[in-house]
Structure 1
């Protein structure tokens, strides 16, 4: 199942680049960015360390890439965001600290200086298995997620407000979503809204709101946030509206060293009645490219 994901990632980034080589008109503008980093954390304690503590090692990686095209009234925006991390405590097996796959592509046509009509598609899932640890007294771990379990594929049609390069708001009155539960073992413990006996849930009548903000708030300090709200017309209750927020604050120490704070918040009644969140803070290596050539 991993192969189709990497093919889709490659298409989102490489297809715009190939297309850019064939279009040379002066009114064609490409904005590209690529950032990839790894953060490491390590601690060690002797067996007689009286203050307490446990030896551990942890790392997390992230990749954030964009390829946005604009020519006259036509725009095509593509984004890939990948996050993965592990932590290993002494006398324990390695456990995930973060795991996220997000792909988004949008084709727009402007009807004013700030507004576009658009069609879009986005995909959300994770790379590897996720567990609820030490569920029973014997230390049993329970499988609760995996790649495409759940996986969310959402199509949207609507209007986008984009008054400047760093903020956009998408309003989609029609946004069908497909929720996948490919791993039957996960389905024994968590359904994620997928009906019993099925591997796909289809929500045809729904709306979606998306907002994104990316800006250098001061020298060498960048803030990035993406918000998504999903509303099923058949379940118009406040507690059944899904909310998702992803935010990153990155401080650049020098060309390659950075400190970053990442957080994800999810409210999805089909998964849990409470808000889910994860957060990570790390010092590591970050490699970035801005406005690079497609050739």
Structure 2
């Protein structure tokens, strides 16, 4: 709960900073910047009387998210920055609290315009999680299987981008080195494959690789927006169909009022270094939200 409290304070602080920037005197050069930050708090709760016969368990779930972007564009040069932080916990009566969601996504891209639809680009991308994650075997103590920087992925990419409009972009990089970090050298005791990092080491480097990132953000109506992000990573040295990494993020948000929204999110991952099967998570939440920025509203 301390992590959630700290994270929520960060959201409030960031919102206040952006609010102050809106009324501050803006230097001439900042006209090339578009900035936006948003966040929210979701709470779910269920309670049953002691004589409830329908089955069920008392529970509380709390989720926090913080998203932001800051884009610079001048003449043929552009610099786009994105962050996506999510953290959630659920506490069922008689059980320890467990993570329901945990994501750190940071992306920064420098682009040079070729024409109205194509750009050269160089990008850096970071993926990890905030807090420890556990597996809960029956009749056994919980086992640590992940935590911050265990694993973490740092990917750089150089290539070409197709961006026909403000809603869709597709990056293709034939040169995309990736570093996988597992800083806890004892984690392999609970995760035998050690997320692809050699046991005893803390970093795995994949120099020769191809990556692809497709991003789609669509305002379906005044109160409904859609986000889809697909990432692919293929190591040339171990190239095989079942060795290609895939990640698909999906988000659908409906605005109920200026402060309240409903969101549906899902995440699918296929990574042979983690598991031989597709991993899937999904969440539905109602909560309060805020957004500030100077991006033009999409029609």
TM-score, reference length from structure 2: 0.88
Query: Which secondary structure state, in structure 2, belongs to the residue aligned with residue 192 of structure 1?
Result: helix
Match of 1:156 in 2: 157
Match of 2:274 in 1: 271
Cα displacement (A) at 1:22: 5.5
Query: Which secondary structure state, in structure 1, belongs to the residue aligned with residue 44 of structure 2?
Result: strand
1:151-189 deviation line (CA, Å, top 9, x unaligned): 000010000011111110000000000000012232322
The correspondence for 2:98, drawn from 69, 76, 95, is 95
1:199-232 deviation line (CA, Å, top 9, x unaligned): 1000000010000011111220000111100000
Match of 2:238 in 1: 235
Alignment of 1:100-119 (within 5 A): 100-119=103-122
- 1:174 and 2:168 correspond: no
Match of 2:286 in 1: 283
Alignment of 1:1-295 (within 5 A): 24=29, 29-133=32-136, 135-137=137-139, 139-190=140-191, 191-291=194-294
1:26-72 deviation line (CA, Å, top 9, x unaligned): xx532222110111000100121011110000011111100011111
Is contact 1:146-1:186 (8 Å) kept? Answer: no
State how far apart, in whole Å, the 2-side matches of 1:272 and 1:131 are: 16
* Number of matched pairs: 276
Give the gaps of 5 or more residues in structure 1: none
1:237-278 deviation line (CA, Å, top 9, x unaligned): 111000001111000001000000111111000100001111
State how far apart, in whole Å, the 2-side matches of 1:98 and 1:183 are: 21
Query: Which secondary structure state, in structure 1, belongs to the residue aligned with residue 237 of structure 2?
Result: helix
Query: Which secondary structure state, in structure 2, belongs to the residue aligned with residue 239 of structure 1?
Result: helix
State how far apart, in whole Å, the 1-side matches of 2:37 and 2:250 are: 17
Cα displacement (A) at 1:290: 3.1
1:65-92 deviation line (CA, Å, top 9, x unaligned): 0001111110000000000000000111
TM-score, reference length from structure 1: 0.89
Aligned-CA RMSD value: 2.2
Is contact 2:185-2:200 (8 Å) kept? Answer: no
